[in-house]
Amino acid sequence: MRFLKIAKDDWTRGVEDLKKSFRVFGPVKEKEAYDFRLLDKGVLPDFSFQNTRLSPKSTVYPQSEILFEYTLDESKADHHVHKVPEKDYSPRVILGIRPCDAKAFELVRLNFDTPEYKDPYWLSAYEATTKVGLACDDPCSTCFCTSAGSGPYDEAGLDVLLADRDDHFLAKVLTEKGEAFVSAAGWNTEAPDAEAGFEKLAAEAEGKVPGGVPTDKLADKETVALHGADFWEDVAFSCINCGTCTYLCPTCWCFDIQDEVKGAEGVRMRNWDSCMFPLFTLHGSGHNPRATKVDRVRQRFMHKLKYFVDRYGRGIQCVGCGRCVSSCPVNIDIRRVARLMNEFEPAPEKCPA
Amino acid sequence: MSDYTQKIRETAKKLLSEGKVDAVIGYREGTLPLMAEPCLVKDPEKVDQLVFNSFCGVNLANYLPKRKDRVAVVAKGCDSRNIALHIVENQVDRERLFVIGAPCTRMVDRRKVAAAVGGREISGVSEQDGKLTVSGPGYEQTVDKKDVLQDNCSICIHRNPVLADEMLGEKLPEQEADRYADVREVEAMSPEERFAHFKDLFSECIRCYACRNACPLCYCPTCFVDESKPQWVGKSIDPTDTMTFHFLRAFHCAGRCTDCGACERACPVGIKVRQLTRKLEKDCLGLFDWEAGMNPDVRPPLDTWRPEDPEEFIK
């Protein structure tokens, strides 16, 4: 780990040099909002954002991705054989990822990289990716990263962390991938005294993040009692079961697999799916184990704030980015639900008459 | 507290304690400035959470189909028109519904407010005399409400409820408005330009279906995009599939859409979905002299046939 100083005068040159050996993704403003895009030659990441509208998870895990191609044309020798299409897993860098979103990759990894199963598509893309964070000095009012086990200067999942200092960036190089990144950009001005300053900035930024989303008692709750809590109907009433919360979430990982065939040529693809959709759990028999809106809303919160906590023992499946809070069309607020769940006490059992 | 808020609470309390309804559907204070959350109140002691303000843009008619209980619902002009449609389409039993009519004071688009304060964080908002006072870290700014209305509200010509069992106030004057200026612009385009326009319009769609699910008209048990035998539409974000969804959904709303703006309000990526529905609204007005949801006894034109229906478009 070491510190570098990157003068902003030298930024454009460095980013363009990076593009010689990396595919560079960064936030850009399109129409109304910021999102991560592959940056063409001459295009710089636009760091005047608070956070992007969609999380950067799609840079590794696209919303729609072809897994296999095949032909049903029996005159061809390879008919009915699944072939993996050519993919670009050359080195890529995400420039300006927020620390919460970087930590989210580590949570999503728990699903795609397990001792039993290794998802080749996700892992190949993940391993090809260098994540260069941009610390948050100006958090949103809907942010709660510090309550969710992350923070505005959190280094989890990052290879380099940048702090924006007027005419320069301070860079904390955290990994070997980070070293390769600064070397490719030609940034090598050491800033050995930066450590104390970095810590001070982090402390200041953490103080600005709205806090107070308690999650400390979730692990101790009895799952069945929490599942049966009396607040779920009220929490779920306004929900319209759209996919906004899950699609904007950096930690939601669920997908659906579909075959699309045109004539004799087909592809098998996976698309993001959402536990808010009735179709998500609809069985072939017609039975739906989560048939009602309350079932689905409860599942989303129980997964993120209880089942995940119990299964992995590393906190909640949420990094506090606040996207679901600010974009929900009907103002369902995970901060409020976390409080309800954390404070829940089951009603005392009644004595049998 | 607005007059409406006070009256909604009084009415809700009376209806619930007298056992006239099982529940009241209204709005409660949002957790975010510029938002209100639809809520259901069953206990007469809990009516004080109900509010009415300029952020109650969600169409509560969306919460009525398939309910088995007797409910009261707060309804603005557009909501009431959707209730009228629900009645015509047999989705709601009028006998079990109590409509609390709200002559609408027009709803605010929070994205426009955010733009008006230059994208700065908004931590509080208050409204008085047609002005919103918006505050955030280190600033306070006053915005004219008329400059930050939802697009549909700024051209609304039916703000008064078309049916109600109780009104929250006197009817408000209706405005004259040119409702179709932007539709005419699209109509004037060449087919190629128009296709490019729509392709761009829907290029950011993430297929979350917030527009569909916020819409009171979209109550089909299984939407055509969710059918699997046969599967009509692909589920990826392929532009053709995405446009197929939007175009077909819009056609299903022809002669039924009340331009309540729920679709645009819900869209997390800010797509102007109403460009499609308003073209259909304009056509229904021109062809059938029809405005949706104005009368709970008349079926929409595409749902019926009359000998005098125009048929010049059948070639």
Residue after which a domain boundary falls, among A208, A233, A250: A208
Is A173 strand, coil or helix?
strand
If asked whether residues A137 and A170 sit together in one domain, one would say yes
Nearest-CB residue to B270 (from A32, A233, A256)? A32
Q: Among residues 97-126 of chain B, which lie with CB inside 8 Å of chain A?
A: 111, 121-123
Contact flag B206-A260 (C-beta cutoff 8 Å): no
Contact flag B265-A329 (C-beta cutoff 8 Å): yes
- Determine the pLDDT at residue A348: 79
Instruction: Please state, in angstroms and rounded to a whole number, the distance separating the CA atoms of residues A249 and A301.
Output: 13
If asked whether residues A234 and A204 sit together in one domain, one would say no
Instruction: Please state, in angstroms and rounded to a whole number, the distance separating the CA atoms of residues B185 and B102.
Output: 34
Q: Is any Cβ of chain A less than 8 angstroms from the Cβ of B177? A: no
Which whole-number Å values give the CA distances from B6 to A201, B11, B20, B40, B72, in the listed order? 47, 9, 19, 17, 16
How is residue B151 written in tokens?
Answer: 């697009």
Paired strand residues for B167? B101
Q: Enumerate the residues of chain A whose CB falls inside 8 A of the CB of residue B123.
A: 141
Q: Enumerate the residues of chain B whose CB falls inside 8 A of the CB of residue A278.
A: 226
How is residue A126 written in tokens?
Answer: 């993940």
Residues in chain B: 315
Instruction: Please state, in angstroms and rounded to a whole number, the distance separating the CA atoms of residues B243 and B225.
Output: 12
What's the ipTM?
Answer: 0.95
Look at the alpha carbons of B156, B158, B164, B166 in this order and tell me if their dihedral is positive or negative.
positive
Contact flag B214-A335 (C-beta cutoff 8 Å): no
The alpha-carbon gap from A14 to the nearest alpha carbon of chain B, in Å, equals 30
- Determine the pLDDT at residue B1: 58
CA closest to B211 among chain A residues: A242
Instruction: Please state, in angstroms and rounded to a whole number, the distance separating the CA atoms of residues A133 and A101.
Output: 9
Contact flag B31-A335 (C-beta cutoff 8 Å): yes
Q: Among residues 251-270 of chain B, which lie with CB inside 8 Å of chain A?
A: 265-270
Residue after which a domain boundary falls, among A188, A208, A228: A208
If asked whether residues A135 and A39 sit together in one domain, one would say yes
Helix (H) or strand (E) holding B185: helix B181-187
- Residues of B38-67 as b/e, b for ≥16 C-beta within 10 angstroms? bbbbeeeebbeebbbbbbbbbbbbbbbeeb
Confidence check: pLDDT of A318 > 90:
yes
Contact flag A336-B269 (C-beta cutoff 8 Å): no
Asked whether residue A327 is domain-assigned, the answer is yes
Asked whether residue A33 is domain-assigned, the answer is yes
Q: Which tens digits make up the pLDDT trace of A293-315?
A: 999 999 999 999 999 999 999 99
- Determine the pLDDT at residue A260: 94
Residue after which a domain boundary falls, among A208, A228, A243: A208
Q: Among residues 191-250 of chain B, which lie with CB inside 8 Å of chain A?
A: 204, 206-210, 212-214, 226, 234-238
Angle of CA points B146, A51, A5, to nearest 5°:
135
CA closest to A139 among chain B residues: B121
Paired strand residues for A64? A271
Q: Enumerate the residues of chain B whose CB falls inside 8 A of the CB of residue A235.
A: none
Q: CA-based diameter of chain A, in Å?
A: 80
- Determine the pLDDT at residue A282: 94
Contact flag B58-A244 (C-beta cutoff 8 Å): no
Instruction: Please state, in angstroms and rounded to a whole number, the distance separating the CA atoms of residues B39 and A300.
Output: 19
Instruction: Please state, in angstroms and rounded to a whole number, the distance separating the CA atoms of residues A67 and A87.
Output: 10
Which whole-number Å values give the CA distances from B144 to A271, B52, B118, B119, B126, in the listed order? 43, 19, 15, 17, 12
Contact flag A330-B209 (C-beta cutoff 8 Å): no
User: Which stretches of chain B score pLDDT less than 50?
Assistant: none
If asked whether residues A229 and A118 sit together in one domain, one would say no
Look at the alpha carbons of A109, A115, A120, A123 in this order and tell me if their dihedral is positive or negative.
positive
Query: Residue A52 is which amino acid?
Result: T
Asked whether residue A203 is domain-assigned, the answer is yes
Nearest-CB residue to B235 (from A271, A326, A329)? A271
Contacts of B149 (CB under 8 A, 6+ apart): B106, B107, B108, B109, B112
Q: Enumerate the residues of chain B whose CB falls inside 8 A of the CB of residue A141.
A: 121-123, 136
Q: Which tens digits make up the pLDDT trace of A73-105?
A: 999 999 999 999 999 999 999 999 999 999 999
The alpha-carbon gap from B265 to the nearest alpha carbon of chain A, in Å, equals 7
Instruction: Please state, in angstroms and rounded to a whole number, the distance separating the CA atoms of residues B216 and B59.
Output: 7
- Determine the pLDDT at residue B229: 84
Domain hosting residue A266, numbered range? 218-343
Instruction: Please state, in angstroms and rounded to a whole number, the distance separating the CA atoms of residues A182 and A170.
Output: 12
Counting the structural domains of chain A, the total is: 2
If asked whether residues A222 and A170 sit together in one domain, one would say no
Q: Tell me what the mean pLDDT of segment A210-231 comes to.
A: 94
The values of phi and psi at residue A108, to 5°, are -65, -30
Paired strand residues for A5? A170
Q: Is any Cβ of chain B less than 8 angstroms from the Cβ of A260? A: yes
Q: Is A5 exposed, middle or buried (0-12, 13-18, 19+ CB in 10 A)?
A: middle
How is residue A219 written in tokens?
Answer: 């692990």
Confidence check: pLDDT of A341 > 80:
yes
Confidence check: pLDDT of A352 > 80:
no
HEC profile of B129-181: CCEEEEEECCEEEEEEHHHCECHHHHCCCCCCCCCCCEECCCCCCCCCCCCCH
- Residues A149/A122, Cβ–Cβ less than 8 Å: no
Nearest-CB residue to A64 (from B30, B209, B236)? B236
Contact flag B121-A63 (C-beta cutoff 8 Å): no
Q: CA-based diameter of chain B, in Å?
A: 66
Q: Is any Cβ of chain B less than 8 angstroms from the Cβ of A332? A: yes
CA closest to B262 among chain A residues: A329
Nearest-CB residue to A326 (from B32, B63, B270)? B32
If asked whether residues A142 and A28 sit together in one domain, one would say yes
Q: Enumerate the residues of chain B whose CB falls inside 8 A of the CB of residue A300.
A: none
- Residues A278/A288, Cβ–Cβ less than 8 Å: yes
Contacts of B98 (CB under 8 A, 6+ apart): B15, B20, B21, B70, B71, B72, B73, B165, B166
Q: Enumerate the residues of chain B whose CB falls inside 8 A of the CB of residue A64.
A: 236-238
The alpha-carbon gap from B312 to the nearest alpha carbon of chain A, in Å, equals 37
Q: Is any Cβ of chain B less than 8 angstroms from the Cβ of A242? A: yes
Is B177 strand, coil or helix?
coil
- Residues B251/B280, Cβ–Cβ less than 8 Å: yes
Radius of gyration, CA atoms only, chain A: 23
Chain A and chain B share a number of CB contacts under 8 A equal to 100
The DSSP code for A190 is: B
- Residues B183/B120, Cβ–Cβ less than 8 Å: no
Q: Which tens digits make up the pLDDT trace of B145-160?
A: 999 999 999 999 999 9
Q: Which tens digits make up the pLDDT trace of A100-155?
A: 999 999 999 999 999 999 999 999 999 999 999 999 999 999 999 999 999 999 99
The alpha-carbon gap from A306 to the nearest alpha carbon of chain B, in Å, equals 23
Query: Residue A220 is which amino acid?
Result: D
Asked whether residue A350 is domain-assigned, the answer is no
The candidate with the shortest Cα–Cα distance to B279, out of B187, B145, B190, B199, is B187
A237: left (phi over 0), alpha (psi -120 to 50) or beta: alpha
Average pLDDT value over all residues in chain A: 95
Instruction: Please state, in angstroms and rounded to a whole number, the distance separating the CA atoms of residues B29 and B4.
Output: 14
- Determine the pLDDT at residue A353: 63
Is A115 strand, coil or helix?
coil
Paired strand residues for A172? A3, A161
- Residues B257/B217, Cβ–Cβ less than 8 Å: yes
If asked whether residues A74 and A127 sit together in one domain, one would say yes
Q: Is B297 exposed, middle or buried (0-12, 13-18, 19+ CB in 10 A)?
A: exposed
